[in-house]
Structure 1
Amino acid sequence: MRRRTLLKAGLVLPLLPYALAFNRSALAWSSPSQGGAIATPRAIDATWPDADHWERLRKQVGSRLIKVHSPFAPDAPAAATKEALAHLGNPFYLGDEPSLTQTSGWFGAWTSQPSVYAVAAESTADVVAAVNFARDQRLRLVVKGGGHSYQGTSNAAGSLLVWTRRLRQIQLHDAFIGQGCNGKQTPQHAVSMGAGCMWIDAYDAVTTKAGRYVQGGGCTTVGVAGLIQSGGFGSFSKAFGTAASNLLEAEVVTADGKLLIANACTNPDLFWSLKGGGGGSFGVITRVTLRTFDLPDVFGGMHGRIKAPDDASFQALIAQAMRLYADALCNPHWGEQMTLLDGNALGISMVFQGLSRDEAEATWAPFKDWLAQHPEYVIVQPISAVALPARHFWDAAFFREKAPQFIANDDRKDAPPSHMVWAGDREQAGWTIHAYQSLWLPGSLLAAGQQERLAKALFDASQHHEVGLHFNKGLFGAADDVRVRSRDTATNPQAADAFALVIIAAGGGPAFPGMPGANVDADKARREADAVERATAALRGLGTKLGSYVSESDYFLADWEHAFWGDNVGRLSSAKRRYDPMNLFNVHHGISGSRG
């Protein structure tokens, strides 16, 4: 099952990974307390704050303190349930509903559970009030912007939710300098955004309207702040870097209720930790500022599908594709993915920038010539390029006029006209994860003497499950400055030397607790989890302790700290001890301050 397929005006442009992961145990959504945490999941009991306490919080935040009700709760009004079922495939609706999340659960791990109360923050003061209340009352605190966390970190029963969705202000800068950085930084083009912004908000303001580029995620409904904290790979990361590496400044409410500015000159340890150190671990981001870039004239994509007649031919096809990638595609011009599909087929769904359509076609000519010399392969879909003006890449009005079939609109009354998702992305709205694993593949595997070994391992993996090679999520072959910036983030250093992130995963339909018709096929989920594990095992021998991408990884990953952050773990733990010594911000697979 593919997680996302990005379609753009007559071309099929990829969007990110696959479906997601399950493994073996039956943990609840919660994780064990770490480092003497003061806030742990709990039911409403005798220690729950009484009505007077909640009233005092209400006086601070006013009507922004809301009681959270799931539309699928037993006592939910029939009209609310009907509306939820009608809009369940609309990720904008899911994001605007504080009781729901973009993933309804992970089989054997967690299910989406609403908080008891939420502070629908409209200002930093609202966030400060919520953080102070949760700390003083020893409540489990949950932070949600976009709500796309696969690990279940943006939901928890018996909790107080800091909901940043309404923090949506956007400001463009022609000469930004971080606080405390006068004389230390060169002014640069940038954009500041509230933590509740989604990437479609960013692309609409920066690219469609202002004609510049900001590096973000492929899925348009992902939250800006959450992506930055996880690392933030996008379709063109080999050219422009990750969202984390382009962060210039953040405003953060820490566990002591203070609003801090974090940049390279002010609170630099916190700033570095926010750049890929994991969402919800160091504080509540209220505002971020990212560098922006000159916009290329053209963005484009290359799409095709080739079927091999037998196993040996498929391995040869994989080897030829890896040869092409090593020789011509492992550079800042190209991003996104190739997929090894069921039935010995190769799917091509890549994007390009800095090239014309003719130049992109010429790049693939050797591969197409090779196919022409081997008529045993079936060209299911011809390999072809399409290009469009880069300014229209996320332009909803352009797509509604030119290619409406490739997008899905926010179908609710009075929805912002800029709000669209790629049509393929709606498949994941509310989905249930069955299995999800990822590994970074070292760039050394592209050396001529290693390509056959790589092709054999990829073939072996594909015989168990579909395999996605996400080339934009490894920075080997990227521009030098991109790799330098990446190494100055908390992301596992392996990412800078990896040519791709391989993603192998599976999932099913929405299954929110109490949802009418919800059904998780447990036998199917277990079979898929087993297949994903066997496929991933075939690739683990390609390197030593291959790392994994924090936001797209296995819930049950054993050595997750080193998989996500490598040698950066100690530095992150030090920052955690400084800014959250009592572990108020406690999430599954979140960094702990307990290390020396």
Structure 2
Amino acid sequence: MRAATISLIVARLLQTAVADGSTFSCQPGQSCWPTIAEWQAFNQSISGALQVTVPMGSVCFPSSPNYDSGLCAIVQANYMNGTFRESSTAALQDTNWESCGTANCFPGVFAPRGQTCSLGRHSALQVHATTSEHITATMAFVRKYGIRMVIKNTGHDYLGRSSAANTLTLNTHNMKNISFESSFTAHNCPSAGTRQNIAIIGAGVNAQDAMDYFEQRNIMVTVGGCSTVGIAGGYGQAAGHGLLTPAYGLMVDQAVEFDVVTPDGVFRTINECNDPDLFWAMRGGGGGSFAVLVNYKFQVYPKNRWAAWRLQAGFNNSETGLTKSTFLRDFLTELSNEQPNWSANNASGYDTVSATGINLLEVMPIGSDPLGALKQLTSKFNSFLTSYPGLNITINSYVLYDTEKEFYAAQEDYLSQFGTVGISVLAPSRLITTDNFETPAKIDALVTAFLQGMENARQILANDTTGAVVNFLILKTGATNTPDTHNATSANPVWRNTLWHLVTAAGWLPGMADGAQAAAAARSALEAIKKPLSVQASYLNEADPDEPDWQDVFFGGNYDKLLAIKQRYDPDTLLNCKKCVGYLGDADPMYSCYSDNPVPSIPYPFA
């Protein structure tokens, strides 16, 4: 035990030593930076996959050589469309991660545009990989010249990991291969036996791609709530929660094998027999940390009908302060009382709570009679709401859908509020564990903290005129029914004891405000909610990038083991991202845009 403890201390000391002198710190204008001829030679070696980054909004700037008023109108009209943004090589889903200080290329949708279009955080050049050879060559190139590399697929990342100024972006968006094997044997792993119904997807496949493909084969997939999220990257490597989680577990629970390229440039097929430590680390330890994923192979399930209950209601809050709101206290108390039973019976859901209304989506995605089961589970709570004095219910409906894809298409408008794009977002969060629902006293403490959090946010934003908001999201996607008894995954163990994933999501408009007030409101709200919690844990993909105790909060006791694996496969920290395993700290030049001294990207040809 003592030797193990010492080795962990040494591992963290080594990480600190690396942080003091990053190998990958070369910046444009320095002698180490590649010449134009060297960039061109690299492009030839990868069959022309290197592309110059053109910001999506550049067509709206008269000072830009890309100016086109017709295209500008299209960009402005689709600015908050996730699929449109995903299709652009130089757009992220959340605009705060596109800008670097005041440098940006916002096209004037919400506020007057600036005089010039800047790359901001976007890399000047991107490798649009379609093969593992492209990945290997890119790793060799950045290693040779000491350049930081960023991995990007769809641009969904609440911590800004899909962009970093003056880096080279490895874009996996075009790796869209999908296949299905009714019988699958893991590579060189006879002990794993033969599995049925295994999907194989490339790194660029998103949830909609997967549902489109597998619905035709009468299969459903453990995707999240947003159709444009890539399911093999950060989602599939950090845990991956969704409406099927209570029934089947997290996305990492489904993984049976990965094809990856490790930082030494070697293509590997990893599973429980081959590089088992690396396989374990990539089943929950986060994307962009240990290797670049090429193919994700995972368990899928026979299709089932999905039942949904939608309720929307408004109310007049006459009390002074939300902590005194009788309805909100009663609502949250009854919801908390019902939650353990709902989760135990594989129901899931996405709810929002505000000072003037509630929105509920409760789902039963399994079983021979999902609609009957959902109605029975929720009947008491439905009666509580329909009989509540003064509650103005505008939607109260139960619907049965034939397939997973049909459900997501029908609920797209509602689900979009859980991943609004084209604005700036900060998403502090906590996993709310089962012990908080055990007794009336604990429920009361949780509800009181929730209401105090809402009141904190309300007070901070009381005089805001920029459109900033804080949304309180309750995602009922915990993995309490699927314990990881053999420690097969590295996902935060707190997931196995979670009933709610609670997010205090701040949103503000690009170009209207710097977000400081909205961020303060979201953080103040979470501070109140944290107080009664016996366990402090967050989903590492949906969290505050400034989370102070991130190693424990994100990784739940697995961090030191993950760091040791990281150092074995990536001793030079070629792969690095914000608050990921092996994170070097904000002193690394790639993080300048988070600081008070931002250095925006210099455009190609780096003059």
Q: Output the TM-score relative to the length of structure 2.
A: 0.80
Q: Which amino acid is the alignment partner of residue 282 of structure 2?
A: L
Q: Distance in 1 between matches of 2:17 and 2:96?
A: 18
Output one character per residue of 1:130-149: Cα deviation in whole Å (capped at 9) or x when no partner: 11111111111111111111
SS in 1 for 2:474: strand
2:161 to 153, 158, 175: 153
1:295 Cα deviation from its structure 2 partner? 2.0
The structure-2 alpha-carbon separation of the partners of 1:431 and 1:306, relative to structure 1 and needing over 3 Å to count, comes to closer
Instruction: Give identity over the alignment, percent.
Output: 22
Structure 2 counterpart SS, 1:368: helix
Give the distance between the partners of 2:374 and 2:202, measured in 1 at CA: 37
Measured after TM superposition, the shift of residue 574 of structure 1 is 0.9
Task: Give the conservation status (yes or no) of the 8 Å contact 1:228–1:243.
Answer: yes
Measured in 2, the distance between the counterparts of 1:568 and 1:161 equals 28
Residue of structure 2 equivalent to 1:78? 67
1:357 matches 2:344:
no
TM-score w.r.t. structure 1 length?
0.82
1:105 to 96, 112, 125: 96
- Say if 1:94 and 1:392 are closer, same or farther in 2 by CA, change over 3 A: closer
Higher relative contact order (CA 8 A, sep 6+): 1
- 74-83 or 553-562: bigger deviation: 74-83
C-alpha contact 1:72 1:81 (8 A) present in aligned 2: yes
What is the correspondence of 1:404-415 to structure 2 with a 5 Å cutoff? 407=412
- Alpha-carbon distance in structure 2 between the residues aligned to 1:570 and 1:346: 41
Q: How far apart in 2 are the matches of 1:527 and 1:154?
A: 24
CA contact (8 A) 2:91 2:98 kept: no
Q: Are residues 223 and 258 of structure 1, via their aligned partners in 2, closer, same or farther at CA, if it must alter by over 3 Å?
A: same
Change in 2 beyond 3 A, CA 1:107/1:538: farther
Residue of structure 2 equivalent to 1:38? 23
Q: Partners of 2:370 and 2:46 in 1: how far apart?
A: 53
Equivalent position amino acid for 1:132 in 2: A
Counterpart of 1:51 in structure 2 is 36
2:418, 2:473 within 8 Å by CA — same for their partners in 1?
A: no
Task: In structure 2, give the amino acid aligned to 1:475.
Answer: A
Give the drift of 1:341: 1.1
Alignment CA distance shift 1:363-1:72 (3 Å): closer
* Equivalent position to 2:432, from 441, 444, 453: 441
Deviates more, 1:105-114 or 1:159-168: 105-114
Q: Which residue number in structure 2 is paired with residue 238 of structure 1?
A: 246
Aligned residue identity for 2:473: G
CA contact (8 A) 2:333 2:444 kept: yes
| Farther-moved stretch of structure 1 (191-200 vs 35-44) | 35-44
Provide the alpha-carbon RMSD of the alignment: 2.8
Q: For residues 593 and 436 of structure 1, what CA distance do their matches in structure 2 show?
A: 20
Shift of 1:86: 4.1
Contact 1:189 1:291 survives alignment (8 Å) = yes
Count, aligned residues? 524
Deviation digits for residues 156-178 of structure 1, max 9, x if unmatched? 22221111111101110111121
Query: What is aligned with 1:370?
Result: 384
If each structure's strand is expressed as a fraction of its own residues, which one has the higher value? 1
What is the CA–CA distance in structure 1 between the aligned matches of 2:248 and 2:189, rounded to whole Å?
Answer: 23
Which sections of structure 2, spanning at least 5 residues, go unmatched?
1-15, 105-119, 320-324, 458-470, 586-607
Deviations 1:409-430 (A, max 9, x none): xxxxxxxxxxxxx773697223
1:507-526 superposed matches below 5 A? 507-509=507-509, 511=510, 519-522=511-514, 525-526=515-516
Counterpart in 2 of 1:488? 488
Whether the 8 Å contact between 2:385 and 2:391 is mirrored in structure 1 is: no
Alignment of 1:572-591 (within 5 A): 572-591=562-581
**Deviation by residue 1:533-573 (Cα, 9 ceiling, x = unmatched):** 22212211222351111110001111111110021001100
Mapped to 2, the partners of 1:580 and 1:33 lie a distance apart of 12
Conserved? CA contact 1:44–1:158, under 8 Å: no
Cα distance in 1 between the residues matched to 2:17 and 2:312: 46
**1:558-596 Cα distance to aligned partner (Å, 9 max, x none):** 11111100210011001110111000111111111899x
Letter aligned with residue 170 of structure 1: I
Secondary structure of 1:591's aligned partner = coil
- Aligned-partner residue type, residue 468 of structure 1: L
* 1:12 equivalent in structure 2: none
1:195–1:286: 8 Å Cα contact kept in structure 2? yes
Q: 1:67 and 2:52 equivalent?
A: yes
- Asked if 2 retains the 8 angstrom alpha-carbon contact of 1:114 and 1:156, the reply is yes
Judged with a 3 Å threshold, the aligned counterparts in structure 2 of structure 1 residues 41 and 154 are, in CA distance, closer, same or farther, namely farther
2:188 aligned counterpart, secondary structure:
coil
What SS does structure 2 have at the residue aligned with 1:289? Answer: strand
Q: Aligned equivalents of 1:590 and 1:320: distance in 2? A: 37
Secondary structure of the equivalent of 2:525?
A: helix
CA spacing shift, 1:32–1:589, aligned 2, 3 Å: farther
- Give 1:528 shift: 2.3
* 1:475 maps to 2:464: no
Residues 258-267 or 315-324, more deviating: 315-324
Match of 1:459 among 441, 451, 462: 451
Asked if the contact 2:236/2:252 (under 8 Å) is kept, the reply is yes
Instruction: Provide the C-alpha distance between the structure 2 equivalents of 1:134 and 1:189, rounded to a whole number of angstroms.
Output: 38
1:536 is aligned to 526
Alpha-carbon shift at residue 234 of structure 1 (Å): 1.1
1:424 counterpart letter in structure 2: S
Matched residue, 1:387: 400
- The CA distance in 2 between the partners of 1:584 and 1:462, in whole Å, is 41
| Structure 2 CA distance for aligned equivalents of residues 66 and 447 of structure 1 | 55
